[in-house]
Chain A
Amino acid sequence: MKKGKSTGARSLVRALEKMGVEVIFGYPGGANLPIYGALQGSSIKHILARHEQGAAHMADGYARVTGKVGVCLATSGPGATNLVTGIATAYMDSSPILAITGQVPSTMIGNDAFQEVDITGITIPITKHNYLIQSADEISPVVEEAFYLADSGRKGPVLIDIPKDILSSEFLVSNEKEYVLEGYNPTIKGHPGQIKKAAALIKDSKNPVIIAGGGIFHSDAFEMLLHFVEKSGIPLVHSLMGKSSIDSNHLLNYGLYGYHGKVAANTAIVKADLIIAIGTRFGDRSTGPLATYARDAKIIHIDIDPAEISKNVSVFVPIVGNARDILPKLTDLVSLKEIPDWIDLLNKTVVEHPLRKGGKEISVPGALEVLKQVIPDAIIVTDVGRHQMFAALYSDVKAGRTFLTSGGLGTMGFGLPAAVGAKVGSQSLNKDRPVVLISGDGGFTMTCQEIITAVEEKLPLILVVLNDSSLGMIAQLQDEFYDGSFDISNLGDFVKFDKLAISMGAVGHRTETLEEFEKAVRDAQSSGKTCVIDCIIKEEAHVYPMVTGADLLDLVE
C-alpha cells in the first residue's frame, strides 16, 4: 500500500482502536472478511461467537458490565439478520452496542445479490441510528459518531453496514471527513428551577416513594442514589432494570414493584402521595393497568429522554437530564423526612406478606438461596421467564452493574451469551467478580451453543439451568388466564444439560438435591472453569406475587 493510503477495513479497525475497543464479538462470512484481514495484528481481541445472536448479546452483556460500548460483527444477509434480536434487546434496555455488518459490494446492492439484505432498513426501528457507508473515507468519522451516539444521552445500539468493495478499496487518509451532528444535543444537566420544584414537593409530601430504574445503571448513579435515599429517608422500590441500583438488603429498599412486585413495594406505589421516578419509563410490566396507577400521587420524573416524559403516565414535575448530574443537586435541597407512619406501614406490610419459601425438596427459591449464600458478590445474569422473576424477587445483589436481564424485550436466550460478554467485561475491569447465570431449561436451550465460546475463551462461569422441564412462565400464564389449556409448556426431559456441557468441553454437573446443588456451586466456584449445573427442580411452583386484577394490589400471593 502506498504512503498516506488506507483501505476501508483498515480504517475501520484503526478507528475502533482509537475509540478504545478491546474486544469484538463476531462471526465471519464472505462480506466481512476484509475486516478480519485488517484485524490481523490489531490490539483488538476477537471472540468467535457460535451464532450472531450470541455475538450481539455478548456485546450487550459486555456493555452492561463495563459501561463501555460493546462491539459485535457479522457478515451480510443471514449474519446481519441474526443480530436483529440482540440489537432489539439492547435497544429496549438502552444498552450501548455497536453492530458492524459486512454488506454485498455497493455495485450489487438492490440486485438481490447472494446474502444481500437491507439491514439498515430492517434495523431503523431498533437502533438509535444506523449507517450504510458510501465511501471508505467516511468510515472513520462514522465510527466516531456512532460511538458518541451509542454512549450519550439515552444510550442504545447503533449499526454500521459496510459494503465489501468499500472495505477493500484504497483511499487517501488525508481526505477523511469530520463528523457533524447538528440535530443531536442530549440534555444532560437538569433545569435548576425544576429541581427546586421537585425539592418543594418532596418537602410537602407525606407518603413519598422513589422508583429506581435502569437509568441509575446506565448513568452509574449508584452512589448519588444512595446519598439521596439516605439523606431524604424516603423508601425506594425498583423496576426490573433498576434491581441493582441499590443494595438489595438496604433498609429503605422495598424491592421489585409491578406485575410480579413485592406486596410492600406495590403498596408503596398505590398509597404514595409523591413518586420520585428516576431513570424509569413506566413500562407496562411495572405500572399494571394505567387507569388505576398511583392515583393519589404526584409524579416527579427524572429522565434523560424527553420523549419518556408523560408518555405513559402524566408527570407533574419533569426533570430532563442525567440522573448522575441531577441527583446530587436534588440531594442538596432535601432534608431528612420524618415519616414514621409511612415507614411503619411499609415495614408491617413486609412482615405480613413474606415471599413464599421453598420446601425440603429442591425448588427455585431454594436454589437461589444457596447461590445467595455461596456467592454473595456475584454479577447475576438471568434469562427470561419464571426463573427471571424468581431471581428478581429472591436474589440479593450489591449496588452496581450486578444484575443483568433482558427487561424490555424479554428475550429468551439472552442469558448465556450475555453472561459470556459480562465475564469478558468483568475480567477487563479492576475488580473482577464471579458471574452467575440463572437460566431456565427453555431459554438456555435457545443459545446453548455459546457454551463453546465460553470454553474456548476459558471463562470461569457458573451457568445454572433451573431445569423444570417446562416453560414455567407460559405454564403460569396458561394456568392463570387460559384454564391451563393447550399443553405447550411441557418441554420434557430430553436434554441432559450436564452431558451437553461436557460434549462442548465444559464441566457438567447434574444435581437433584439442595446438598448436591450446593456442592456443585462450590465446585464450580473453585474450578475456575466454565461449569454448567443442571439443577433438577423437584418442587415446581409458580412465581408470586402476581397481579391479576385491575390494580397493583389486586394480586395472588
Chain B
Amino acid sequence: MKHTISILCDNKAGVMTRISGLFSRRGFNIESLTVGTTEMDDKSRFTIVVQGDDSVLEQIRKQLQKLVHVIKVWDIKNESIIEREHSLIKIQVTPEKRSEILQIITAAEARILDSTGDYWTLEVTGSTAAVSSAISLLSEYNIIESIRTGRIALERGVGKS
C-alpha cells in the first residue's frame, strides 16, 4: 500500500541521511521525498511517499520516531490528506499543435512560465493525480524535459499535525 509519511524534525545536518537510511536498508525505494522549512525556525518537515508492506512501514515509523532529531512522525491516511505537488514541463509547441496544447493548459489550470521560440515551460500544481494526468495529456506532444517536486502533505482539520 502507498503511504504518505510526514516527519517533523530538527533542522540539522545529517538528518536526511538518518531518515533515508531506515528506508533503504529494508529495500524500500522512496517514491518521492520533499523537505522544507516550517512555521518554526529550527524545524523542517519531510513528506515521504513510499510503497510497501504495512507492517514493515509501521516498524519504520517506530524507528523514525526513535531518531533523536525527529520530533514526530505521522503516517497520513489518504482520506484526511491535503496534498500538493508542483511540476515544470518544457514542451515543444509547433504552430499546428498550439491550440490543442493551450486547451490542455486551460483544463489543467497550468501556467506558461516561459516561451522561447517553439519551446514553452509550463507550471502545473495540484494533487499528485492531477499533476500525473496533466503530464499524461501533454505526453502526446513532444516533452523536452520535465520535473516534479514530489508530494507535500498536511492533515486536514484544525489540529496541528
Contacts and interface: CB of A to CB of B under 8 A. Distances in A.
A132 B72 CA distance: 24
Given A125-B25, A307-B62, A183 B17 contact: no
A182 B10 contact: yes
A120 B14 contact: yes
Interface stretch (B63-71, B131-139, B151-159): B63-71
Interface residues of B, number: 19
Contacts of A129: 67-68
A124 interface: yes
Contact of A307 (B10, B14, B66): B66
Interface in A111-131: 120-121, 124-125, 128-129
A121 B18 CA distance: 9
Q: How large is the interface on A (under 10, 10 to 19, 20 to 34, 35 or more residues)?
A: 10 to 19
Interface in B47-66: 59, 62-63, 65-66
B14 A181 contact: no
Most buried by B among A132, A181, A307: A307
Contacts of A184: 68
B9 A183 contact: yes
Nearest to B9: A183
B65 A307 contact: yes
* A interface SS class: mixed
A306 B62 CA distance: 7
Interface in A210-265: none
A128 B21 contact: no
Nearest to A154: B66
10 contacts: A129-B68, A149-B68, A181-B68, A183-B9, A183-B10, A183-B69, A183-B71, A184-B68, A305-B66, A307-B65
CB-CB nearest 6 A-B residue pairs: A307-B62, A183-B71, A129-B68, A183-B70, A184-B68, A307-B63
* B interface SS class: mixed
Interface of B: 9-10, 13-14, 17-18, 21, 25, 59, 62-63, 65-72
Contacts of A183: 9-10, 67-72
Contacts of B9: 183
B40 to A, nearest CB: 10
Interface in A133-157: 149
Given A120-B14, A183-B9, A306 B65 contact: yes
B151 to A, nearest CB: 23
Contacts of A305: 66
B69 to A, nearest CB: 6
Interface string A284-325: 000000000000000000000111000100000000000000
